[in-house]
Amino acid sequence: MTTLLHRFTVAKLLRVACCRSVYSGPEAYPVFSRQDFAEDDGTWEWKKLHNIRQRVVDIQNGINHEGDKKIVDDEARKVHLLPHKIYSKPEEYYPLTDVAKVVYGNKTKDPMPKGIKHKMDPDFIRPEVQDLLKSLTGRDPEIVFAEQTGLYTHMPRVRLLTTEQLNQEIKKMDEKFDEMLEMPPVMLEREEIEETIAFDELLDGYEEGKLIFTDITVDLKPDERCMVVREPTGLLRRAQWDERDRALGVYYPKCGRSLHKDPVFENPQVAFKNQFHKNILERILVEFVPDSKEFIHYTQMVYDEIDKESQYDLLRSTRFFGGLAFYLAKHKSIDGLLKNILENKSSLPDAADLVKLFCLINNESNTARNLKDLNNCDDFRIVQVYVQNDATMKKILELSLQTFQQIPQSAQNF
C-alpha cells in the first residue's frame, strides 16, 4: 500500500502523462523513438510535447529561459521545471522509486520501531502497592453506586431471597464493586518516534503542508498500522504519536472521543470551581491514551489541584482515588492527604497504609530505613516515624496524632 501511495505522490508531482518525453514515475514509461518527435502532424499534443522536450534539453545544457521558475503548461499537465530535477529517461528514475518496498518489503503491517514499547509504571503494578491503593480507596456504596447525571436509572426492586441466594447477590455486588473501582493504568510516558525512512528532493517545496499515509487494512491493531508522513521538504518519516492518534481518530473514531481538543482542557479552572474534578478525569480517559503526554499532563494537573485545595473527598470511593494516592506518594507529597485522613476520616489504619505506600515507593527515604519491617509495626508507630523524619507539615500532623495517642489512655481509665 505504501508503495502505491509513493508512486501516486510522485506521479501527482510531475504530472506529465500527456507530455510523454518527461517521465514522472514507474507507471508512465512508454518507449518513444526519434521518429515520434520527427513527425510533425500539426496537432496540439505534438507542439506541447516538442516544446517541453526542448525545455528539458535546454535546462540540462544550462540554458535558462524566462518563466522556467514558474509552472508551465497550465492547459495540459502542470510541470514544475525548477527547482525540481527532471528525468528525461525512465532508466534515470527507476532506481530511486519503490522506496516503501525497499523499506517494508511486501508486508502490510508496520510494527513499532525496536525500543518503542508501552510500559506500565513498575511501582504501580506491584501487588503490595495495589493492595494498599485498594484499601485507601474505600468502598462506600452510596458513592460507588450514586446516580450519575444523564444516565438512565432503574427503579429499585424488592425481592425475597433465601440465605444462599442472598450470599450469591452479595458476591455479585462485590464483583460489581471491583469493576466500578478498577483503577486506570499508570503508565510511563511513551518515547517519541523519530525515524527517517527516505528523502526525495523531487518533492521539496511541492506541498505546503504535510501528507500522512495510513494503512486502513481491517483487523490490525493500532500499533500495527503503517503510518508515514511526507514533509514539505521531501522527507519521508514514520508518523509521530500525536499524528498517529489523530489519523486513527479519523479512520476509526471511538465513542465519545472528539477530533478536536475538548474545551474543558483549555480552561479547566471553571470546572475546578464547580468541583467537577472527577468529570475531568473521566473525560481524560475518553480523549487520550494512558501513556500519552496529554493524558499524564492533565491527570497530574487535576491531582495537583485537589492536593492544593485539600478536596480529597471528591475522589474517595472512586476509581481515581488510588491514582491520586499513588501520585502523591511518588512525588513525596502525602502530608495533605495524611492530615485529611487523620482529622476528617479519623482512621489510623488508613493513615498507616498511606505511609506504607510511601515507604514502598520511596524505599530510600528516612522513614523506610527506620521502618524495615512494616508488617510488625503498629499503625501509630508507622505514622509517628513518618512525621518525625519526612513530613513537611510536622507540627500540624503531630497535633493530629495526639488525638489517637490519648484514645487508649482514656479507654483504659474508663
For residue 119, tell me if it sits in a domain: no
Q: At what angle do helices 394-413 and 379-389 cross, to 10 degrees?
A: 150
Lowest mean pLDDT among 108-122, 165-179, 265-279, 308-322: 108-122
Give the pLDDT confidence score for residue 414 in this predicted structure. 39
Cα four-point dihedral sign 242, 245, 248, 252? negative
For residues 20 and 37, is the Cβ–Cβ distance under 8 A?
no
Lowest mean pLDDT among 71-75, 200-204, 323-327, 336-340: 71-75
For residue 202, tell me if it sits in a domain: no
For residue 340, tell me if it sits in a domain: yes
Alpha helix locations (H) across 204-264? 241-251
Helix (H) or strand (E) holding 30: none
**Average model confidence (pLDDT) across the chain:** 76
For residue 176, tell me if it sits in a domain: no
Q: Which of 55, 74, 98 is the last residue of a domain?
A: 98
- Residues of the domain holding 75: 2-98
Lowest mean pLDDT among 12-26, 104-118, 197-211: 12-26
Q: Which of 51, 78, 98 is the last residue of a domain?
A: 98
For residues 72 and 79, is the Cβ–Cβ distance under 8 A?
yes
Give the pLDDT confidence score for residue 232 in this predicted structure. 92
If you write DSSP's letter for every residue of 131-191 in order, what string do you get?
A: HHHHHHH---HHHHT---TTS--PPP------HHHHHHHHHHHHHHHHHHTPPPP-BPPPP
Which of the listed ranges 11-15, 83-87, 154-158, 323-327 does the model predict with the highest average pLDDT?
Answer: 323-327
Record the pTM. Answer: 0.69
How many domains does the chain divide into?
Answer: 2
For residue 255, tell me if it sits in a domain: no
Q: Which residues contact 105 (CB under 8 A, 6 or more apart)?
A: none
For residue 240, tell me if it sits in a domain: no
For residue 229, tell me if it sits in a domain: no
User: Using CA atoms, how far apart are residues 255 and 154, in angstroms rounded to an integer?
Assistant: 24
For residue 204, tell me if it sits in a domain: no
Give the pLDDT confidence score for residue 410 in this predicted structure. 43
Lowest mean pLDDT among 2-6, 119-123, 275-279, 357-361: 2-6
Q: Which of 64, 98, 132 is the last residue of a domain?
A: 98
